[in-house]
Amino acid sequence: MQRQILYRTDSLGAPKVGAARAALNAVNPEVEVIPIAKRLQGEDLLELVSGADVVLDCSDNFATRHALNRACVKHRKPLVSGAAIRFDAQVAVFDLRKTDAPCYACLYPEDGEIEEVQCSTMGVFAPLVGIIGTMQAAEALKLLAGVGTTLTGRLLMLDGRSMQCSEMRLTRQSQCSVCGTQSAGGSRAD
């Protein structure tokens, strides 16, 4: 649990959502936190995403990331994605309110041969998740406030060993199975 700044030793054994709410309300009791202690999928996930202004993906597996991405593409919600493993981390914004914005599957296709490497088995340099988490928070606030230039269309990669950032341009893939014009769902049609 050392990797997650929301939690303390006495959080061990408690449901994560409850411990997270308690920690956040200790910082600011006026923040309303609605914990949902279940795996969201299907219609439940779509409904929750449809009511959001911005969605942050802080998960550690591709199944969840792709499900969130699909929901955000369908409802055209901005998605702030972050991930960290070992000494490597990355952050990106997929502002799906824009018709020409790439989605997460444009970067990592759903049928891609990407090895699932989870930090629960591979470990992660603890401060990295805090760094990436606050970067995600910054991007989310910028999206909500409409200020600055977000990481839309850019993948920011941080090498924790050298503390160097590099950046990759992301473009929408017309053959993307989720947001592409060829997709059967046609969910991006205006």
Which residue, 105 or 128, is less far from Zn ion as judged by CB? 105
Q: Which residue type does 174 have?
A: S
Which residue, 2 or 99, is less far from Zn ion as judged by CB? 99
Shortest Å distance, C-beta 69 to Zn ion: 8
Q: What angle do CA 94, 99, 101 make, to 5 degrees?
A: 30
Task: Answer whether 150's CB lies under 8 Å from 95's CB.
Answer: yes
Show the site string, 114-153: x = touches Zn ion by CB under 5 A, - = not: ----------------------------------------
Rounded to whole angstroms, how far apart are CA atoms 83 and 141? 18
Rounded to whole angstroms, how far apart are CA atoms 68 and 71? 5
Shortest Å distance, C-beta 171 to Zn ion: 10
Shortest Å distance, C-beta 131 to Zn ion: 27
Show the site string, 157-186: x = touches Zn ion by CB under 5 A, - = not: -------------------x-xx-------
Shortest Å distance, C-beta 177 to Zn ion: 8
Task: Answer whether 79's CB lies under 8 Å from 104's CB.
Answer: yes
Q: In terms of Cα–Cα distance, which of 131, 137, 140 is closest to 165?
A: 131
Using rule CB under 5 A, residue 103 touches Zn ion = yes
Distances (CA, A) of 189 to 45, 96, 99, 175: 21, 12, 9, 15
Shortest Å distance, C-beta 173 to Zn ion: 6
Shortest Å distance, C-beta 156 to Zn ion: 19
Rounded to whole angstroms, how far apart are CA atoms 6 and 26? 11
Q: Which three-class secondary structure state does DSSP give residue 164? A: strand
Pick out residues in 11-40 that bind Zn ion (CB under 5 A). none
Show the site string, 61-100: x = touches Zn ion by CB under 5 A, - = not: ----------------------------------------
Residues binding Zn ion (CB under 5 A): 103, 105-106, 176, 178-179
